[in-house]
Structure 1
């Protein structure tokens, strides 16, 4: 059981580190949004693994809130980027630049 915990910790830690690297380096807002989703998924997986091993159902509401937060955040950012690109395209059309 200890080896399994070590493997889970290493994999989730690696995913978190790669997500943090993409958050710092990522040139676009979509790269940063994706990295926040990776960090959130890592946290959800870690909490879920802990709950499964300890057979503790009290953290299920926390998992539900985190998953809803990730979903709503992703949708909000994608709508923001889509609106920004649409406004940019409309301004190019009005100015006559390709």
Structure 2
């Protein structure tokens, strides 16, 4: 039962990733695109954790941590660039 729920959840998160990609491509403003990218980071973390649970491996959890750190740094850098026009002062 747990395996079928994990597969269904992976399908739903994959659909959310596809919708985020759509918003990233056609977002009317740069803020919408940054939020879509940030949401894609969160959804990819969820997908890796679910895949790690499906495969019963802890290796994917480390990859999820790396994506979380890079996603945070990327979002901060893009937001700073959007506000000031320059990342490094």
Query: Which structure's CA Rg is the greater one?
Result: 1
For 1:12, the equivalent position in structure 2 comes to 13
Bigger Cα displacement from structure 2, 45-54 vs 61-70? 45-54
Runs of 4+ in 1 over 6 A off after TM superposition: none
Q: CA RMSD in A?
A: 1.6
Give the total of aligned pairs. 84
**Alignment TM-score, normalising by the size of structure 2:** 0.80
State how far apart, in whole Å, the 1-side matches of 2:4 and 2:60 are. Answer: 23
The DSSP-based 3-state class of the residue aligned with 1:27 is coil
Q: State the 1:55 CA deviation.
A: 2.8
Which structure features the higher share of helix residues? 1
Unaligned segments of structure 1, at least 5 residues: 85-98
Unaligned segments of structure 2, at least 5 residues: none
**Alignment TM-score, normalising by the size of structure 1:** 0.74
1:51 matched to 2:46? The reply is: no
